[in-house]
Amino acid sequence: MGVLNVTPDSFSDGNHYFHQDRAIEHGLEMARDGADIIDVGGESTRPYAKEVSVTEEMDRVIPVIETLNKELSVPISIDTYKSEVTQEALKAGASVINDISALRFDPDMASIAAETDVPVILMHMKGTPRNMQDNPTYDDLILEILNFLKNAIARAVKAGIRKELIIVDPGIGFGKTFDDNLKIIKELSRFGSLKCPVLLGSSNKAFIGHILNKEARERDTGTMATIAAGIMNGAHIVRAHNVKKAVETVKIVDAIKTGRVGNI
């Protein structure tokens, strides 16, 4: 999953693809580099980020999705927790919903997902982007995330979303300490008990920078290490800013897992 932030303030690539022409070209480039999904977002969800209006978010993402949909064969996901943005994005050509709130922030999100019958990514987050990093604590990190995601899956299914369309994301960096993030990757196989594909979103996150003493755009090596570890531990989808390097990393890890060299 290639990350396309059409924002001025995202933690890793804020303002780099804020202008529509640059965003569209970057989306096309990620597809050429081997992305299976392009994830388009118009509001930064980095810690302490400010919320943007529905209108502003739509102005950012809808034209980009419309153009990419005409040019690409790979699916486009809309990274939002707002139902109005989701509806317009799906009309524009998006075919996956990536909701960091796991359908909690907007009461209309679940019904839209059910009616449109598209894949939905449900992510764990403690609090909101505005307060999630204010001393997040857990009694049992993995168990609490598992229980949250079990409840999110149950809510989604009750709302009419088919379970086979649900993807879960343990939420690296969303209400987690640096050590929490490492533990999630180390124990990612436990999320297999949910019987849903698992998405890992570790790309360029702060815990990588903390370990390597690198700025956000200098964390490719660390990101690829987390991707490799994540896949070995059961990740089915990996979200990456540097798609070209991520595709190469995935090919090597898949070859190791299958024990054969071939056209993967």
Q: Which domains does the chain have, with CATH numbers?
A: 2-258 (3.20.20.20)
42 within 8 A of 61, measured Cβ to Cβ: yes
* pLDDT exceeds 70 at position 17: no
Q: How far apart are CA 62 and CA 119, in angstroms?
A: 19
128 within 8 A of 45, measured Cβ to Cβ: no
Average confidence (pLDDT) over 139-144: 98
Question: 81-119: b or e for each residue (b if 16 or more CB lie within 10 Å)?
Answer: bbbebbbbbbebbbbbbbbbbbbbebeebbebbbebebb
Count of C-beta atoms within a 10 Å radius of residue 221 = 11
- Phi/psi of residue 11, each to 5°? -65, -35
Query: Catalytic residue among 239, 245, 251, 257, which?
Result: 239
Return the pLDDT at 50.
79
Query: Catalytic residue among 60, 126, 205, 219, which?
Result: 205
From the list 189, 184, 214, the residue with the least C-alpha distance to 202 is 184
Segment 118-128, tens digit of pLDDT: 999 999 999 88
How many residues appear in the chain? 264
Segment 200-243, tens digit of pLDDT: 999 999 999 999 999 999 999 999 999 999 999 999 999 999 99
* pLDDT exceeds 50 at position 14: no
> Is residue 205 annotated as part of the catalytic site, yes or no?
yes
* pLDDT exceeds 80 at position 48: no
What proportion of the chain, given as a percentage, has pLDDT over 70? 95
Query: In Å, how far from its chain's centre is CA 201?
Result: 5
User: Look-up: residue for tokens 């300490």?
Assistant: 177
Q: How confident is the model at residue 18 (pLDDT cuts 50, 70, 90)?
A: low
CA distances from 106 to 58, 63, 103, 170, 180 (A): 16, 23, 6, 20, 27
Q: For the chain, give the mean pLDDT.
A: 94
120 within 8 A of 75, measured Cβ to Cβ: no
From the list 86, 92, 189, the residue with the least C-alpha distance to 142 is 189
Q: What would the two tokens of residue 251 be?
A: 């090919």
User: Look-up: residue for tokens 């919903």?
Assistant: 97
* pLDDT exceeds 80 at position 9: no
Return the pLDDT at 44.
86
Return the pLDDT at 45.
84
Average confidence (pLDDT) over 160-165: 98
Q: What would the two tokens of residue 231 be?
A: 């896949």
176 within 8 A of 170, measured Cβ to Cβ: no
Q: How far apart are CA 175 and CA 262, in angstroms?
A: 40
- Phi/psi of residue 240, each to 5°? -140, 145
Q: How confident is the model at residue 105 (pLDDT cuts 50, 70, 90)?
A: very high
